[in-house]
Amino acid sequence: MMKPTRLVVALAIAASGQAAGAATPRMLPACHAGELSLRLDASPHDLDGSSEHGIRLVLINRTTVACRIPGLPTVIFRDAHERSLPIERQIPPDMHPGPVVLPAVVPAGGEVGAEVGWSTAESSGGKCYSPATIGIVIEDKAVVQSATNHVCAPAGQPAMFTQAWFRSSATQRATR
């Protein structure tokens, strides 16, 4: 029987898409924002519904060298004047201050993705935002893409979004 700590490490490595003998994320160079591009995949997701919306953020490595990103990088929402909008990542209540997530490996010429979701339900006294761009912060620089989404918050509450950690596209398809 495998010890719990070894099982956790084995599962973490499997979830990151690492093959046996491949370079670990710590061995790879950090990705630079200028070497990445962002695509917003608006294909249907589990979060899509009458009052919720979900998209997949896809980071693409435009270089010939694999690199690593934080597994749960900061996602930003900006208006047409490039001002940050007050839309916050919702931390699961049982994971304060947040989950420990391993870096994600972005293969050379490859991509990694993460799903984000939010409420689109307008309520009396609530506040809604229409971000012009959505971005991911990599080494203090944002990789951004134009957006046409609508994010709402109930009266007296901040606008919130949920965020999954970044994983390879193959890993995400296998866990859906």
Distance set, CA 73 to CA 55, 59, 153 (Å): 16, 11, 22
Residue 57 forms beta bridges with which residues? 40, 114
Number of domains in the chain: 1
Average pLDDT over residues 25-42: 90
Strands 127-129, 151-153: pairing is antiparallel
156: left (phi over 0), alpha (psi -120 to 50) or beta: left
Give residue 96's domain range. 4-175
pLDDT for residue 132 is more than 90: yes
Output the six-digit token pair for 165: 């950690």
Question: Structure pTM?
Answer: 0.76
Supply the pLDDT for residue 168: 78
- DSSP letter (8 states) at residue 6: H
Average pLDDT over residues 17-23: 47
Distance set, CA 36 to CA 40, 64, 83, 130, 167 (Å): 13, 12, 22, 25, 15
Q: Which is more confidently placed, 96 or 21? A: 96
pLDDT for residue 9 is more than 60: no
